[in-house]
Amino acid sequence: MKVQKVTDPAFSKYGKVLSGYDFSSLLDTLRGCSEKPSDKTIYIPSDPTLEACAIYGDLRDRAYGGMPIQIGYCNGSNHLLNCLEYHRDSEIDVAADDVILLLGRQDEIEDGIYDTAKVEAFLLPAGTGVELYATTLHYAPCNGEGKDGFRVIIVLPAGTNTEMPVFEPGCEEDRWMTARNKWLLAHQDAPEAGNGAYVGLSGKNICV
């Protein structure tokens, strides 16, 4: 599929490139405190070492308007879409390595189904941070072209992607929730579907 750049106009409906932040120390810390598996991806919602970096306050106060945040990471190697998720707020991704983001729009979900033919791919270069809007469907990054894996900082409101709240579903969307502040649509071929996640992606399980 065509891989666009996060600096292209087409990205503007999904998010924006962040400016005015120095991510260098945060990314150096990520490289030193986290592994990069070659055969899977790992996700840690909140890492105390990363949250001790000076930029934590800047991201909390400027990017999230003073709301409590968490800084974690998604590392490893991946080539498949598998799922798309969304939150009730923006997510910030900062790449330590070139990665490809596979993105969609929440308003294109029809009757609980999203057609993967609508997914667009964007290169997020190493050293760059982006805000993905709350209406943007996304999931684990994919390896950049010719890259053997990645490390990516993930910033979200505190508590996101932790243990799911317990409640009685009152509508169909409630059944898509798999963690706190996380609604997920899985492809039928994805491991998540085998673990009980809602199958809401139709079409190909995109491979980059």
Round to whole Å and give the CA distance between 55 and 161.
22
Round to whole Å and give the CA distance between 71 and 93.
10
**Which CATH class name applies to 3-202?**
mainly beta
Q: Whole-angstrom distance between the N-terminal and C-terminal Cα of the chain? A: 7
The DSSP bridge partners found for residue 41 are 76
Ordered by start, the domain boundaries in the chain are 3-202
pLDDT tens-digit profile, the chain (208 residues): 899 999 999 999 999 999 999 999 999 999 999 999 999 999 999 999 999 999 999 999 999 999 999 999 999 999 999 999 999 999 999 999 999 999 999 999 999 999 999 999 999 999 999 999 999 999 999 999 999 999 999 999 999 999 999 999 999 999 999 999 999 999 999 999 999 999 999 999 999 9
Q: Are 29 and 141 in contact (CB under 8 A)?
A: no
Residue 75's pLDDT is 98
Residue 101's pLDDT is 98
Angle at 201 between CA 200 and CA 204, to 5 degrees: 160
Round to whole Å and give the CA distance between 179 and 22.
31
Residue 167 identity:
F
* pTM score of the predicted model: 0.97
